[in-house]
Structure 1
């Protein structure tokens, strides 16, 4: 498949489209929404339990040892990108609904992807091993960092994220991951052997979280709040955010003096955002009536990052080393 169409092969695109379309025509409301939320929380718990089982402790130690790459990457993702998200939130507030504008700050605070960032690093001729370990570590950090950082930068807009919410994140995200790490000696090989099935577990959990979130947004009149001009503004702002992320991550890698292969890994890890963390965490942080609005910019960003990443990776692969 040509690189420019590579994003069409990503099953996650189909999952997101199906989840949002189903929420639009058959939203979970009333008692059904409460049941759907319980199912979503349970699925998220299982997903992070499996994540704890499959990420080897040796890989975590290896990534931490490469501080020259990992520390700047953390600073870029949870520092620079979060501040860019804050700036875009303030711009978006001028024309978009407040919760949608808040979504720019939310996905600015998220960690990077694992699968697609690693795949495109490989396609571009980057350091794949470093990409895998770095992305895994950034995602682990995101479980602990994203919500407090979002609350800190969001101020009054994110005031509802209090101790109770943080505790809920601990129970649904952190606790199962810790349990998975504790039992991985006996379970990791079993999980690795079933990696294809586990990938569909990831997609299924994300799909459930997106469905629950958009069900609440549809019930609150998501479609009626947006005119053509507002959709165009949202798309334009997301595209501009992505452009800044890609250019900034590339030049930051150069300024750090990273070797070309490491710089490519930094580019994709630093510019892509994880819907695998973002959708489940939004389902915990926000009630369904709010979550669908907040993750709308993230879902658009996820689509655009795939559209941009394939030709970018192919171009980097063709350039002289």
Structure 2
């Protein structure tokens, strides 16, 4: 008789999400106003540019090109992230205004346009004994594609809520997102070694920059009075809708990958890379696209981020206990890349 897998003793409550919530609370109690708001907005703009410069400088072009050999898997993940997710987001429009307000729906649709995660997709794929190298490449490709696709999809599908295709919006996208990223790629040859040596310290720079972006966005939202449009019933409905969205994507990525002929390890990588959304990439993009409405627009993404961590932590450990994973043999060369579930730390931040 098959023993029922136990749930992990502690579900991953991401400390960074707690820091984000504390920042939101600070913005609610002490929002930046007047000259302070101008300073916060300027600092937020610089922080976004710095984040995307670092994203570009860290991405190894050689590793990305090497990963193209498994192109079917990467195309599948990209289709889940930038085709299936947006279609489900558009289908949710029918929930307005009965379950969701228009601002919350805009945030939900924006969530569906954000690229996949990198770190947590890799971590959960490793815990579940999946194809870790494929998860690394799939997450990197998704992040790279999201630099261009997410702003363009948001401008096209969200319309006036995200600035549409106005010249000012396109200039912001190019100046604050694309140019810093390309500059980072161009300078990677000279700064890449420094970034690797100071990876831990720069991680704090990443997180601190995003906290600054969140504070500026939520301060602007307080000044504009956007939070008066949110009620507890609507927040509860948003959580329920996001739970259904995550469940659908987890099922589609697992069974759909099976129907496409992928093996177990590839299906695991597709499931965790194709069903997740990046908080680290979405927050700075929202600050550029939504302006004063960014605080409310990123709320669905923040809630979905924590939900996906908790659900995928349970799912990854269950996959690791499958008879095929425990009793089967791993492909040659894969043993050193997969960590036992008990030894792998819970993913943080992205």
TM-score band w.r.t. shorter chain: over 0.9
For the pair 1:73 / 2:109, whether they are aligned, the reply is no
Taking structure 1 as reference, are residues 113 and 92 closer, same or farther at Cα in structure 2, changes over 3 Å only?
A: farther
Q: More displaced, 158-167 or 248-257?
A: 158-167
In the TM superposition, what are the counterparts of 1:280-299 in structure 2 within 5 Å?
A: 280-288=284-292, 290-299=293-302
For the pair 1:209 / 2:213, whether they are aligned, the reply is yes
Taking structure 1 as reference, are residues 92 and 245 closer, same or farther at Cα in structure 2, changes over 3 Å only?
A: farther
Given the alignment, which residue of 288, 300, 305 partners 2:303? 300
Structure of higher CA gyration radius: 2
User: TM-score w.r.t. structure 2 length?
Assistant: 0.86
In the TM superposition, what are the counterparts of 1:12-51 in structure 2 within 5 Å?
A: 12-51=16-55
Corresponding residue number in structure 2 for 1:5:
10
- Deviation track 1:261-293 (CA, whole Å, cap 9, x = no partner) reads 1111111111111111111001001122x1111
Give the number of the structure whose residues are more often helix, by fraction: 1
Q: Distance in 1 between matches of 2:274 and 2:54?
A: 25
- Deviation track 1:233-281 (CA, whole Å, cap 9, x = no partner) reads 1211121111112112212221221121111111111111111111100
Q: Distance in 2 between matches of 1:231 and 1:94?
A: 13
Q: Secondary structure at the match of 2:298?
A: helix
User: TM-score w.r.t. structure 1 length?
Assistant: 0.93
Q: Secondary structure at the match of 1:133?
A: helix
Corresponding residue number in structure 1 for 2:340:
none
Q: Distance in 1 between matches of 2:229 and 2:297?
A: 14
Given the alignment, which residue of 306, 313, 317 partners 2:316? 313
- What is the CA distance between 1:162 and its match in structure 2? 2.4
- What is the CA distance between 1:111 and its match in structure 2? 0.6
Q: Distance in 2 between matches of 1:92 and 1:308?
A: 27
In the TM superposition, what are the counterparts of 1:42-61 in structure 2 within 5 Å?
A: 42-61=46-65
In the TM superposition, what are the counterparts of 1:1-321 in structure 2 within 5 Å?
A: 3=8, 5-8=10-13, 10-155=14-159, 157-158=161-162, 160-288=164-292, 290-321=293-324
Unaligned runs of 5+ in 2: 1-6, 325-350
Q: Secondary structure at the match of 1:67?
A: helix
